[in-house]
Structure 1
Amino acid sequence: MISSQYVSRITLRREKVESFEQYPFSLPVVRHLEQIDLHPRVNFFVGENGSGKSTLLEAIAVSLGFNAEGGSKNFSFGTRRSHSELHEHLRIAKGLRPQRDGCFLRAESFFNVATEIEKLDEDPFGGPPIIGAYGNRSLHEQSHGESFLALMMERFRGQGLYILDEPEAALSPQRQLATLVRMRDLVEEKSQFIIATHSPILMAYPDATIFHCGKDSIQQIAYQDTEHFRVTRDFLMDPQSMLERLLAQ
């Protein structure tokens, strides 16, 4: 298992934590984190807002050498230091297979990544244009959804580790389905995904591991047992009745 994946295990070095009453260690996902064994292909972290999913993904990415605001390991810009110290308390077990590609996507700071690409490409001594890896079209000249798909389709090359924080924020349901297909292609090219999401479409990816980040624990959960699946199913089966109950409160 270890030789077939890029990240196999995440461990919180709890002995280094001075207090679980202070941020970010007070977040539920961190407070209850001991050890997580990752799926070699696709992993989802799900849970309510405020559970700490994005903070955990950020810490994983930074500890692996990615830029805190997103991009590949070659990006080193920073518009505002906002990441926590959690990455300093994580132990990441890596596999033996060499990693050819990788990217950390944050929906909230993808604009900054697009700006940095344009800035780097303005340097006459900076080598071949970076935007060539994104379809040769400025990410700022596309919608958020189009620019994210350009990232998935053009920039992600396979044999890589892709850490995505709520990618559905940019995507229509149809584009989320297209993302599933691209994920399948990249998995077949020996890639691994770590994704924080609220999307019942994305987390339906077959043979994935879903980690539910709750108030009291981090547990693996079946897709059909996630709140995202159950609420969406119940609403779509009878939206009128659910709306009547909700709006009558």
Structure 2
Amino acid sequence: MKVRLETDTAESPSAVSAHARIRSIWIHSLHWPAPNARADVVLVHGLGVASRMCAPLGRLLSERSRVWAPDLPGFGMSPHTGVLGVEEHADLLAAWVEANRLRSPTIVGTSFGCQVVAAAAERHPDACRAVVLGAPIVQADRRTWRQQLARWPRERQSMQLQRLIVEDFARAGLPRVIRTFSAALHDRIEDRVARLSQPLLVCWGTRDPLMTRAWVAELAGRARDGRLAVLPGARHALSHDSPLPFARAITHFADQNGGL
């Protein structure tokens, strides 16, 4: 069943809400229909937040594609009592793609969502045709809480995103956020991308203080078919605070791999 989400109409007037039961878990998603589009795109949100973080990017990409943005279990409007690891989230994402009969979508992760997207593409190669990692936060030489927390205060966010984070973190609960990110810190995304069979795009904004250009270049270089897009002036939360350059990079990449 799909219903229009009033809370999201200001950001994305064409978005509708959907729920799907995947392995006994209800997963909520936002969907931007595009009846004449040829391709599907799936957007995966960052840590603690939910699909509405992706609304600005979803609206832009929906000009050419059918866009979907699920809430990972335990976040947003996808209730779940347990805490899932990266691979568990990835397996559910792949099952959700299949249940919605998406046609070999391009899957796009932002921040923590990159961990889930990379794992889904590695473990379920048929679930997607191309992979985009936007601001992959867990840099290989920064896998401790101390290293991560030292950099988080340097990130600049829009007031709208700050309000969204407060609301979504409160809904998810701090213990869930902590345990989820602890699992992400131990997930070696650099090893996963080396095993991907799909084309890979890594995007990094020059105003993102949470990772270095050297790291994202290394990540792109590890893939069999990887490339890096440096987005001047873009922030860490690419899908919300820098959606236009992010959308342009995704569209250009997709045009080289069958189009959106």
Shorter-chain TM-score above 0.5: no
| Larger RCO of the pair (alpha carbons < 8 Å, separation 6+) | 1
* TM-score relative to the length of structure 2: 0.31
* TM-score relative to the length of structure 1: 0.32
